[in-house]
Amino acid sequence: MRCFFLLCAFSFYLFADAHIFLYHRFNDDRYPSTNTQNSVLRKQFEFLRDNNYTVVPLQAIVDKLNQNETLPEKWVTLTIDDGYKSFLNALPIFEEFGYAFTMFVYVEAAEKNYPDFLNWEELKDLEKRGGTLAFHSYLHAHQTKQSAEELRADFKKGLELYEKRAGSKSSFYSYPYGEYNDEVKNIAKEFGFSAILNQNIGAVSDTSSVYDLNRFALVGDANIKPLLKYKTLEAEWIEPKVYPLSGNITKIKANISDNVTKAQLYITDLGWRDIAVKNGLVDYDMNEKLQKSRVRVILRCDNKISTKILVKD
């Protein structure tokens, strides 16, 4: 056990990892599962400021990755999904701290002036106040359930409207509900984004793909301190690749770069367990029923973490 810890701790210091946070609603008690109170937001920002974190625009991380440069220490990027009106509650705090942000726009909601959402005029105004706008689909559908045709039609319609209203192309895309599989990702890539963001729990490292950037979703009184300690576990997921048809998960197989003999495995609703690693390979047999249609499978070695999301289609 001690050896395991030391090996992990050794690699901890070699790379700087960036962290991307995701918010939805602010100071809006009606939806506790997606809400952050202003008092909590202020505490999070004070923590970042007092501990010398640098909040950078998303583009800065994408540039470093594209240029194959090392990510500087303590970089953080802030993103908000959906474009709820309640962001106006938090905007003065973002401005007070001078923190840049990217707002991912649910285009149909802005277009049709849904009451809870910012309209295009309000969204455009964010660009003068530290914000970057980006695309978050037209329909905000569960995209793994859409056919390739439906999915391409959503991008086409949504991006045409987005470009007309925003007056520029969207550099970035984030999946509605953070739900995707390889097919959804490959179709999204056809539309020329310079980065695609998921909602997997994990950091961003020098080796992260710009088409698969992890984000930590923050809700309630989330403490960001432990999240900022997470680093990237380099993992090549071999099995499962998709949500199992039978609904039963039977094997977890992945290559991990760390020279360890033990790791921890987490599966949504099935909890954490210790598993063995042999020569960098996780090959764990099990036979358990998945409880939810969206499941996170996490491999962790000390503070290094890799997440695979499985979504029933």
The residue (of 141 and 286) whose beta carbon lies closer to Zn ion is: 141
CB of 171 to Zn ion, least distance (A): 18
Part in contact with Zn ion (CB under 5 A); list of ranges 77-85, 116-124, 156-164, 211-219: 77-85
Q: Is 120 in a helix, a strand, or coil?
A: helix
The residue (of 81 and 154) whose beta carbon lies closer to Zn ion is: 81
Q: How many CB atoms lie within 10 A of CB 195?
A: 22
Part in contact with Zn ion (CB under 5 A); list of ranges 11-19, 82-90, 94-102, 253-261: 82-90
The residue (of 19 and 215) whose beta carbon lies closer to Zn ion is: 215
CB of 248 to Zn ion, least distance (A): 30
Part in contact with Zn ion (CB under 5 A); list of ranges 61-69, 75-83, 125-133, 287-295: 75-83
Part in contact with Zn ion (CB under 5 A); list of ranges 60-68, 172-180, 266-274, 278-286: 172-180
Part in contact with Zn ion (CB under 5 A); list of ranges 38-46, 52-60, 168-176, 295-303: 168-176
CB-based contact 305:233 (threshold 8 Å): yes
Cis peptide before 240 (omega within 30 of 0): yes
108 lies in the site for Zn ion, by CB under 5 A: no
Q: How far, CA to CA in Å, does 3 sit from each of 6, 34, 191, 260, 302?
A: 5, 40, 46, 8, 12
Q: How far, CA to CA in Å, does 134 sit from each of 25, 165, 259?
A: 17, 12, 39
Would you state the torsion angle of the CA atoms of residues 14, 18, 94, 226, taken in this order, to the nearest 10 degrees? -70
Residue 265, C-beta contacts closer than 8 angstroms, at least 6 positions apart: 252, 272, 273, 274, 275, 282, 284, 297, 298, 299, 300
Q: How far apart are CA 249 and CA 226, in angstroms?
A: 29
The residue (of 99 and 173) whose beta carbon lies closer to Zn ion is: 173
CB of 145 to Zn ion, least distance (A): 15
81 lies in the site for Zn ion, by CB under 5 A: yes
Residues 37-66 that bind Zn ion (CB under 5 A): none
Q: Name the burial class of residue 32, with classes exposed (0-12), middle (13-18) and buried (19+) by CB atoms within 10 angstroms of its CB.
A: exposed
Residues 176-235 that bind Zn ion (CB under 5 A): 176
Q: Is 270 in a helix, a strand, or coil?
A: coil
CB-based contact 45:21 (threshold 8 Å): no
In the complex, which residue's CB is closest to Zn ion?
81
Binds Zn ion (CB under 5 A): choice among 11, 19, 22, 82: 82
CB of 81 to Zn ion, least distance (A): 4
Q: List residues near Zn ion by CB under 5 A.
A: 81-82, 176
